[in-house]
Amino acid sequence: MILKTIGLYLFAGALFFAGILHFIYDSGFAAMIPEFLPFRYELVYITGITEWLLSLLLIFPHTRKAAGIATAVFLVAVLPANIYAAIMQIPAPWTEETSLTALWIRPLFQPLLIWWVLVVTKDSPWRRTYDTLDKKEV
């Protein structure tokens, strides 16, 4: 249980930090988005904010399970950008040069991140957004 909690907070912290990087290295992240897509910088900022929100929602027990699933979906959604960057040999956003091996590690590592977030949020309870009546009162 303690390892799962540590894993959860490490993941949430890394996701929050990744969101910060989207604003610091916005040009590098924008380069990872194919040119035919409009609003590349806006997409970078939206994904950075999304990473912040997901990381925070992972912390709270009431939203953890839904946030875990949403994070897994988000990681699948951004996978094409990582594959595109590897194919086009676009360096990591914070550098001018990245080895081809390192570029392919990122998309190959993505399934591990998806597995990780699903494991650390698996047993979290679903919470309703409305109050339920106690059956004894009915």
Would you state the pLDDT for residue 100?
87
Would you state the pLDDT for residue 126?
59
Would you state the pLDDT for residue 79?
94
Would you state the pLDDT for residue 125?
62
Residue 129 — pLDDT band, cuts 50, 70, 90? very low
User: What contacts 96, CB < 8 A, 6 or more positions away?
Assistant: none
Torsion, CA 58, CA 59, CA 60, CA 62, rounded to 10: 30
Residue 11: exposed, middle, or buried by beta-carbon count in 10 A (0-12, 13-18, 19+)?
buried
pLDDT in tens, 38-80: 999 999 999 999 999 999 999 999 999 999 999 999 999 999 9
Residue among 98, 77, 76 at smallest CA distance from 31: 98
**Cα(71)–Cα(114) distance, rounded to whole angstroms?**
8
Lowest mean pLDDT among 31-35, 85-89, 127-131: 127-131
* pLDDT of 107 strictly over 90: yes
Q: Where are the alpha helices (DSSP H) in 36-128?
A: 40-59, 64-87, 100-121
Would you state the pLDDT for residue 98?
84
Instruction: Share the mean pLDDT of the chain.
Output: 89
Residue among 92, 122, 97, 118 at smallest CA distance from 107: 92
* pLDDT of 131 strictly over 60: no
Residue recorded with tokens 């699903």: 118
Two tokens at 2?
């303690």
Would you state the pLDDT for residue 124?
66
What mean pLDDT comes out for the span 3-29? Answer: 96
